[in-house]
Chains A and B, each alone.
Chain A
Amino acid sequence: MTRRRIRHTFYVAPALALIALFVYYPIVENVRLSLFKFSVFRPGMRYVGLENYRQAFQDPVFWHALLNNVCYAVTSVVFQVGAALVLAAVLEELIGRRLRGVLRAVYFIPAAVSMTVAGLLFQFLYQPDAGLVNSALDAVGLGGLRHDWLGDTATSIWGVINMSQWQSFGYTTMLLTVAIQRIPRELYEAATVDGAGRIRTFFHVTVPMVREMTTLLIILTVSGAFLVFNEVMVMTGGGPANSSQVLGTWLYASAFTGDDMGYAAAIGTVIFLITFAAGALQLLHSRRKAVAA
């Protein structure tokens, strides 16, 4: 090793040490803790091997929480990537320049509201008696559809997912708008000359040209859907009857209500593996792109 390389290593050592301490140490420690049974109130830890994982696989709430995360991810991909792409294209191509700016701001504003505030706001909207949603249904003659949206086990998680889409939709639309703006205008002109309609142009020019951004957004929304916590805690606390639990809130409940830290660590490891897989996909994708370039 040359003296120069040694000097470089010396310079990056503090950063490496910090990353090791604050990023990798907690991950490794979490995996280790998932192999033990212990309570924060009692001394000692009991090594149980993979029992916490076996417990998770036999726990109906764990599976329900995982399913809720999957629903979250699928809905997020459909709305925050699919629908947002359509909206971005419409904003760019169909709406006049002046109105486009206003609409962009309108769509983006929800992203600037804190998750807790948005959660509380939607809680009011969903109120079974005086909430805006049921009142609006009444007003348009659809009173028969009135519902206790967050209080029914069948709809509680969808109430939360809906809020989340409302909040993030504008943000992803903005990102996709920027991606669309980078598409060379000549491609659209060529499509017009070839007689392609707007829908065909969208699928054959816009969609392929923003693939990079959509892939990135899919990965981000999927990993975000498995890390979701705040909105569920604020709006339903995981209830009623655990119907809106997600892995994050179930981890929290297992740790702080159930005082089962090892089990909570096992759930944490599962979340890590899922989000790590999403991250690895992203890395793989960007590397392939670099090779192609």
Chain B
Amino acid sequence: MRRTSATAAGCLLAVLLTLLSGCGQAPVRATADNFQLSGRPQGHLTVLEKWADPEYAPYFKAAVREYEKRNPGVTIDLQAVGDQPYKDRIAVLAASRELPDIYFAWPGRYAHKFAEGRLAADLTGQLRGTRWGKTFEPDALDAFTFGGRIYGVPLTMDAKVFAYNEKIFAKAGVRRVPRTFPELLTACDRIRKAGYTPLAFGNQYGWPAGHLLTQFNAMEVPADVLARDYDGAEGAFTHPGYTRALKDLARLRERCMPAGGTSISHESAQAQLLYGKAAMQYLETLEFSYLDESGGAPKAFAENWDFFAMPAIPGGEGSPRAVAGGTDGLLVSNTSPNKALAVDFLTFLTGREQARQMVRELGWLSAVKGTADAARLPGLAGAQRTVARHEMSVWLDTRADDKIVNPYLSAADSVLGGNTTPEQAMKAVRRGAENARRFGVRP
């Protein structure tokens, strides 16, 4: 009897293995690139994006309802999830080749993966030189251009800046915003002496340090070297600017940040800024809405804040005008049977009227030209000017090769925790990059 059971189990396993040997990664079944609607818009669209926060979700729901109202033959299933759940869900959907018709993408290598895998539709014909394409800021379109082809529709523009409490600056005797990095450190010393935390910082999930490193790397390392290394080239991350960037981070930790930044969230740290405990926070212009009374900020802060971009770093070999940031956008699935309808909806969503509404309601910078004047939030017009004056350096965690990101963020964490020197941390990054090359997923 025991032998019979063992034989049966063995047979079952053999059958399973035989079945499995024929399985593999499902091919991408791209649909025809037909972007022209025949007649009035009709059909069903699925949209997956990552703006699930209660402050943002209603805008997108209303936009969908408005489009459906204008086009009675269309229904749209809009799903929004948070940042990390989005990454998980889209990866699973990509693996099963069951992507929604329209989906979100961060710029840089993140979007590139979808383009490279033929999962995103090539929208070059719809955007390059066309009336629709000309409505976008050129830099925003560049964020989704790979190999000369455009794969995404930019929606928002975002940059990282220091928001600061004017009253605390005045009390600490900091009379003007720092123009150089050493001036920023001196300002921190004064603020600390005045009894305040100079820079609120929460790095529980790693990305805030990644944003600071994006900024420092862009200012310390020449752009061409940076691009090559982020893509995982051989012998990457040997330029001395990388160690200098980590030293900048260490200096910021020593003189500006409170202890315990690695265990609290960015949002918890923000509360220190809003409630007058901290003088500054390095945050995204997309977060300006939280600094306003309508976004929950106390009046005392909402009426007394301003911002400045990271000041220049003397001796840096990168760009002194660099600013960490990115353009968030939406891609059309290459397997969608409704490419024409998807493009029509995106045309509506990025139309001037709708874009202005987004700027007005959410306080975000739009990738559509000439919409900043619709802003109600203080500071947004200034943010627009900052973005225009600076060179955008895309977030390290979406720009660099996947396997480089973890060792890099881990190295930043170690430096912030004071557990390792910048030189040792860079060694770990180089080891990570070497492993990425040796054990990389790409053939």
Contact = CB atoms under 8 A, between A and B. Distances in A.
Nearest to B28: A43
Interface string A24-68: 110011001000011111111110000110010011010000000
A242 B410 contact: yes
B261 A151 contact: yes
User: Among A24, A41, A127, A242, which residue has the most Cβ atoms of chain B within 10 A?
Assistant: A41
Nearest to B439: A55
Given A28-B20, A59-B435, A150-B263, A259 B91 contact: yes
A240 B416 contact: yes
A46 B443 contact: yes
B205 A237 contact: yes
A151 B13 contact: no
A255 interface: yes
B170 interface: no
B414 A240 contact: yes
A250 B405 CA distance: 14
A93 to B, nearest CB: 42
Contacts of B438: 55
A59 B436 CA distance: 11
Contacts of A256: 87-88, 91
Interface residues of A, number: 50
B263 A126 contact: yes
A41 B12 contact: no
B72 interface: no
Nearest to B27: A43
Given A38-B441, A43-B118, A241 B419 contact: yes
B124 interface: no
Interface stretch (B109-117, B216-224, B306-314, B341-349): B109-117
Contacts of A20: 12, 16
Interface string B68-97: 000000000000000000011001101100
Interface in B386-407: 402-403, 405-406
B17 interface: yes
Contact of B113 (A16, A39, A52, A253): A39
Interface in B183-209: 203-206
Listed residue (A24, A153, A261) with the most chain B CB atoms within 10 angstroms of its CB: A153
A40 B114 CA distance: 10
A222 to B, nearest CB: 26
Contacts of A101: none
Interface of B: 12-13, 16-17, 20, 23-25, 27-28, 87-88, 91-92, 94-95, 113-114, 116-119, 203-206, 258-264, 402-403, 405-406, 410-411, 413-414, 416-417, 419-420, 435, 438-443
